């Protein structure tokens, strides 16, 4: 009976409308080069403040998965991925478009995206509840080690440069200490300003780092526009043909598993998942395959995997509070703002809300496919919008969203300041996501450490590492650091090899 009540709740007009808005908004944002899922969720976050928690989370999560799918439109049409997760899609998708087979590329992309998204939603439904039992055994020491483990994700969120990611994360940690001291109540780094006694506003900071900074970057190419010849030949089909389905079914199944596994890994995200799946599809393909020349296997692998990471990235987020992607880090802030703390309580005290959101997330992926194929033939017009038409809207939404948080101009000033910081960071090759993670996990680490220091009756390190959970988290921390170092060394060697070959 509870399951029927949850399904009925998902299908209420308010929740369906929230999913519809999220899906349509995500498609538009994802299809426009330069506008990312992070930006979309950050812009929409203030809109959800006055909403009930269920439609608010459904809207944000629908936008998240839809924006990842929407990135395939510009990747296929313009050879310019709307999101980094669609970079692999551009290789074969654009090749098909040049042949006049845009419809084939879109229907394969849509089918793969929906399949990957549904698979990830089912993984979220099956894996998250049992995993959440672990959070019942968490005390101050475990929360501190969890925060430390989460901070090691910074190395993999750093967009190819671990050192710059660590610097950005350290700045985020420092900024998280601004405000009143947790114990003494003495202001820290307030410089006489009472507005920051409660800490730096998370939402204005996120809007500035992701949205306004992107608008400033778009100003550099304000008159960008792309003209295309006719890219649709023949009648428009909404589903793959039987022959196409037979060819891609194994690739879609394999890529779904890859995407789910990669998504669970903190910091990995859809871009890594799509490339891993693309390479695996290429490895399993026959020697005479058309990879790079318009292979539907390449599109299917990339789009299945990047959407399969969306739901699985929420597994560590909902159970342990560790975001599996940069967008999940913003969603973590949304959960906290709406009074929901990750862990077992989500699946006990707030079980109805949690399972309604998960089931709604599954439905949103199906809705995404229907809307995507319906409007797909017209997306070649949307993707041609010049930046000069987009920038004013992004800036206006950033200002309105920041002000609506508490009708406070100081939040707008905070957003503007972080927008400037984010712009300079991007110009210098620093990713904003590590700073956001530092802002979120800093208070958790500080609180856990201080409480552990009070409770410890002997050496502090012995107390912190005294439980099996802490030891496992410590081992995962070392593994995360080692993997980040390995990827960084591999990146440096690749750069040196390119210079040597040149």
Distance CA 72, CA 87 (A): 8
Say if residue 255's pLDDT is above 80.
Answer: yes
Domain span at residue 116 reads 2-224+240-501
Q: Which two tokens stand for residue 215?
A: 């608008």
Say if residue 113's pLDDT is above 80.
Answer: yes
Q: What is the mean pLDDT of the chain?
A: 78
In SS3 terms, 108-126 reads as HHHHHHHHHHHHHHHHHHH
Would you say residue 233 lies in a domain?
Answer: no
Q: pLDDT above 70 covers what percent of the chain?
A: 85
Would you say residue 76 lies in a domain?
Answer: yes
Asked if residues 306 and 85 have their Cβ atoms less than 8 Å apart, the reply is yes
* pLDDT for res 119: 92
Would you say residue 229 lies in a domain?
Answer: no
* pLDDT for res 383: 54
Question: Which helix (H) or strand (E) segment is 273 a member of?
Answer: helix 269-284
Q: Which two tokens stand for residue 500?
A: 């040597």
Higher pLDDT, 356 or 381: 356
Would you say residue 436 lies in a domain?
Answer: yes
Distance CA 276, CA 141 (A): 35
Q: Give the rounded distance of the alpha carbon of 233 from its chain centre.
A: 34
Segment 403-414 shows an average pLDDT of: 78
Cα angle value 104/381/17 (rounded, 5°): 85
* pLDDT for res 230: 46
Asked if residues 207 and 342 have their Cβ atoms less than 8 Å apart, the reply is no
Say if residue 158's pLDDT is above 70.
Answer: no
Would you say residue 234 lies in a domain?
Answer: no
Indicate the DSSP class of residue 221: G
Lowest pLDDT segment from 43-57, 115-129, 146-160, 413-427: 146-160
- Confidence at 240, pLDDT banded by 50, 70, 90: confident
Q: pLDDT above 90 covers what percent of the chain?
A: 3
Say if residue 337's pLDDT is above 50.
Answer: yes
pLDDT tens track for 347-369: 777 888 888 888 888 999 999 88
Would you say residue 231 lies in a domain?
Answer: no
The winner for highest mean pLDDT among 15-19, 87-91, 168-172 is 15-19
Q: Where are the alpha helices (DSSP H) in 153-241?
A: 162-176, 202-206, 213-218
The winner for highest mean pLDDT among 120-129, 460-469, 475-484 is 120-129
pLDDT tens track for 183-236: 777 888 877 777 777 778 777 887 788 778 877 887 876 555 544 444 455 555
Find, among 143, 66, 114, 202, the residue nearest to 321 by Cα: 143
* pLDDT for res 372: 83
Lowest pLDDT segment from 26-30, 87-91, 419-423, 471-475: 87-91
Number of domains the chain contains? 1
Asked if residues 248 and 118 have their Cβ atoms less than 8 Å apart, the reply is no
* pLDDT for res 229: 44
CA distances from 263 to 117, 139, 148, 317, 322 (A): 12, 26, 20, 11, 12
CA distances from 165 to 171, 457, 458 (A): 10, 36, 35
For helices 409-427 and 387-404, angle between their N-to-C axes, nearest 10 degrees = 140
Higher pLDDT, 288 or 385: 385
> Model pTM?
0.67
* pLDDT for res 431: 76
Would you say residue 409 lies in a domain?
Answer: yes
Say if residue 424's pLDDT is above 80.
Answer: yes
Say if residue 423's pLDDT is above 80.
Answer: yes
Whether the CA torsion 469, 473, 478, 480 is positive or negative: it is: positive
* pLDDT for res 118: 92
Would you say residue 311 lies in a domain?
Answer: yes
Segment 68-76 shows an average pLDDT of: 82
pLDDT tens track for 279-311: 778 777 765 467 767 788 888 888 898 898 888
Q: Which two tokens stand for residue 18?
A: 């929230």
């Amino acid at each position: 009976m509870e399951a029927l009540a949850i399904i009925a709740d998902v299908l209420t007009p308010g929740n369906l409308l929230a999913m519809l808005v999220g899906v349509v908004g995500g498609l538009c944002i994802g299809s426009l080069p330069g506008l990312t899922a992070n930006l979309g969720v950050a812009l929409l976050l203030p809109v959800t403040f006055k909403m009930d928690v269920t439609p608010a989370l459904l809207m944000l999560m629908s936008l998240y998965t839809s924006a990842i799918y929407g990135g395939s439109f510009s990747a296929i049409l313009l050879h310019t991925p709307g999101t980094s997760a669609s970079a692999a899609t551009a290789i074969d998708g654009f090749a098909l478009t040049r042949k006049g087979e845009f419809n084939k590329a879109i229907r394969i992309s849509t089918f793969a995206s929906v399949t990957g998204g549904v698979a990830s939603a089912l993984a979220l439904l099956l894996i998250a509840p049992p995993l959440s039992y672990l959070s019942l055994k968490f005390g101050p020491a475990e929360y501190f080690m969890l925060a430390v483990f989460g901070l090691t994700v910074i190395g993999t969120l750093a967009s190819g440069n671990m050192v710059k990611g660590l610097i950005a994360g350290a700045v985020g940690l420092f900024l998280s200490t601004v405000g009143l001291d947790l114990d003494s109540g003495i202001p820290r780094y307030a410089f006489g300003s009472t507005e920051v006694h409660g800490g730096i506003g998370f939402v204005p900071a996120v809007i500035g780092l992701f949205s306004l900074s992107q608008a400033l970057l778009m100003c550099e190419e304000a008159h960008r526009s792309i003209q295309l010849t006719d890219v649709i030949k023949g009648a428009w089909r909404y589903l793959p043909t039987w022959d196409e389905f037979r060819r891609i079914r194994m690739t879609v199944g394999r890529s779904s598993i890859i995407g789910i596994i990669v998504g669970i890994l903190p910091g990995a995200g859809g871009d890594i998942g799509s490339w891993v799946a693309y390479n695996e599809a290429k490895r399993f393909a026959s020697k005479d395959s058309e990879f790079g020349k318009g292979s539907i296997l390449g599109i299917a692998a990339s789009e299945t995997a990047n959407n399969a990471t969306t739901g699985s990235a929420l597994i560590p987020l909902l159970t342990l509070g560790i975001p599996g992607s940069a967008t999940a880090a913003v969603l973590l802030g949304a959960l906290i703002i709406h009074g929901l703390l990750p862990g077992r309580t989500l699946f006990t005290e707030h079980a109805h809300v949690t399972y309604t959101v998960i089931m709604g997330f599954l439905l949103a992926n199906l809705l995404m496919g229907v809307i995507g194929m319906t409007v797909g033939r017209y997306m070649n017009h949307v993707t041609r919008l010049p930046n000069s038409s987009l920038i004013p809207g992004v800036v206006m939404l950033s200002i309105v969203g920041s002000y609506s948080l508490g009708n406070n101009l100081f939040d707008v000033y905070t957003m503007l300041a972080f927008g400037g910081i984010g712009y300079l960071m991007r110009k210098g090759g620093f990713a904003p996501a590590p700073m956001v993670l530092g802002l979120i996990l800093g208070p958790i680490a500080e609180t856990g450490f201080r409480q552990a220091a009070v409770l410890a009756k002997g050496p502090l390190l012995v107390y912190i590492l005294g439980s099996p959970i802490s030891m496992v988290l410590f081992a995962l921390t070392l593994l995360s650091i080692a993997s980040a170092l390995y990827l960084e060394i591999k990146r440096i060697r690749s750069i040196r090899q390119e210079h040597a070959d040149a």
